Chains A and B, each alone.
Chain A
Amino acid sequence: MLATGVLGAADDPWIRWDWIAGHIPVIRDALTQHIELTLIAVGIGFLIALPLGLIAWRTRRLRGPIFSITGILYTVPSLALFALLIPFTGLTILTAEIGLVSYTLLILIRNIVVGMDAVPQEVREAALGMGYRPLAELFRIDIPLAVPAIMAGIRIATVTTIGLVTVTALIGEGGLGSLILDGLIRDFKTPLVVGTLLSIALAIIADVGLAGLQRLVTPWSRGRVRI
């Protein structure tokens, strides 16, 4: 399965349209699986990151440990992380998702903490002075003001995950990565090019779409220039 292709096939063009025409269902399934793997990873990642991010923001003492652990998870290369899990969870979608979720955590938590830290103390005091209870203040003032930073985190996590999903092809999942792997094994450029281009397109569409969503939910930040 993991043997590399031999050199040769010099006349293999970068795109063979007849192959694409004959493999539309395969490509569509790969794309669908890619999107599913990404949505599950970022969704579960966010559900874990939000409470952890709030804890890291509120409790200075826990900030170090939370960043250290998610930092190590982020540092371990994807293939190695999958390989560490395989003896226990096998060549399954669970192995793929545990790995993918792990990579979103540091990005999401860091941006949540930075976003919450950036809420001006005066705003918080004004809200409390107006009679907001702490929990209402958190959900109606702090979190909304942190949304641009949090959304930036979700964008980066999503784009990163879309790239990482391709690696899961090596453990039998992969979405568009299975096309890339197919191109490598058979030394055949068309699936490689199709898989790569679709993966990049998916990343750009997700990034632009999430940026649009962010503008919709934070009308007050429109027109402000961010680098």
Chain B
Amino acid sequence: MTFLGQALQWFLDGSHWQGDFGIPNRLFEHLTMSGISLLAAAVIALPIGITLGHFGRGGNLAINVSNVGRAIPSFAILVLAVQLVGIGALPAFLALVALGVPPILTNSYVGMREVDPEVREAATGMGMRQRLILWRIELPIALPLIMAGVRTSAVNIVATATLAALVAWGGLGRFIVDGLSQRDYAQLFAGALLVALLSTAVELGLAAAQRLATPEGLRIQKYPLEAEVVPTPQAMIA
């Protein structure tokens, strides 16, 4: 097919690999923006989720924040951020952080709550102090779920960073947005391919990290399968 040939030509064109508008720099922008946003989201969400989970308070808040987050379109968050702070890198960053917080918060809360109370009691019986129980018992057991939340956030952030090209910021989404507006389908397709590869690589890499983070005694199956649960609507309104 000639079209795929054009897409291949686009990749082979040396000028697409150099300078500020080249693939390496766009990839760098995409990864830096995603990384910083994820870090900021984790710094905000982890302490809240872990604290709420440790004390078993605010469960409705911790769980509903994800459901509310899901209901707000990420595209709308991005455009709203532009209205608040103007175009460029800042609205992209703010939108990505807002998007990254809910999954980490919810998962760290649920992870802490899922720690078997008997394990906690046994630790208390052995004379461990609260702080030690948190660091040596609860967090290691909760780590796989916490990592699952980080992974969900990371994938969401990398995906939405693509949309950020709309608010006059770079990243790999630039090729898609420019390809669309210029009807340059080779560029559009090539950009989409790059984004798809990056997202899949991030997902697979973090899945491996999640497996490594799982304490050996908790590794039961290769693909832990969990249904996403949703709260009752009463809880959601309340």
Residues on A lying within 8 angstroms of B by beta carbon are 1-5, 7, 63-64, 67, 71-72, 75-84, 86-87, 107, 110-111, 113-115, 117, 149, 152-153, 155-156, 159-160, 162-164, 166-167, 169-171, 177, 180-181, 183-184, 189, 192, 195-196, 199-200, 203-204, 207-208, 211-212, 225-227
CB of B145 within 8 A of chain A?
A: no
Chain A binding surface SS class: helix
Q: Please judge, given known A-B contacts A183-B79, A192-B80, whether A79 and B230 are in contact too, CB under 8 Å.
A: no
**Beta-carbon contact of A153 and B196 below 8 Å:** no
Task: Look across to chain B and name the residue whose beta carbon is closest to the beta carbon of A2.
Answer: B181
Contacts A7-B86, A180-B76 known; A87 to B189 CB distance under 8 Å? Answer: yes
**B58-103 contacts to A (CB < 8 Å):** 59, 63, 67, 70-76, 79-80, 82-83, 86-87
A residues near B230, Cβ cutoff 8 Å:
152, 155-156, 207, 211
Q: Is B155 part of the binding interface, using a Cβ–Cβ cutoff of 8 Å? A: yes
Give which listed residue, B159, B193, B236, contacts A207 with CB less than 8 A: B236
A192 to B78, CA, bound (A): 11
- A-B pairs with lowest CB-CB distance, top 9: A77-B159, A83-B192, A114-B227, A203-B71, A80-B195, A163-B73, A196-B76, A80-B192, A166-B73
Q: Is A4 in contact with B168, judged by CB distance below 8 angstroms?
A: yes
* Complex contact A208–B227 (CB within 8 A): no
Residues in chain B within 8 A of chain A (CB atoms): 3, 59, 63, 67, 70-76, 79-80, 82-83, 86-87, 110, 155, 158-160, 162-163, 166-168, 173, 176-177, 179-181, 185, 188-189, 191-193, 195-196, 199-200, 203, 223, 225-233, 236-237
A and B contact pairs by CB, cutoff 8 A, 22 listed: A2-B180, A4-B167, A5-B87, A77-B199, A79-B176, A82-B192, A83-B192, A111-B227, A153-B228, A162-B73, A163-B74, A167-B163, A169-B75, A177-B73, A181-B79, A199-B72, A207-B67, A207-B230, A208-B236, A211-B233, A212-B233, A227-B229
- Known pairs A114-B227, A166-B73, A169-B75 / 16 extra A-B pairs, C-beta < 8 Å: A3-B181, A76-B159, A77-B196, A79-B162, A110-B228, A113-B225, A117-B225, A184-B166, A196-B72, A199-B73, A199-B76, A208-B236, A211-B232, A225-B232, A226-B231, A227-B63
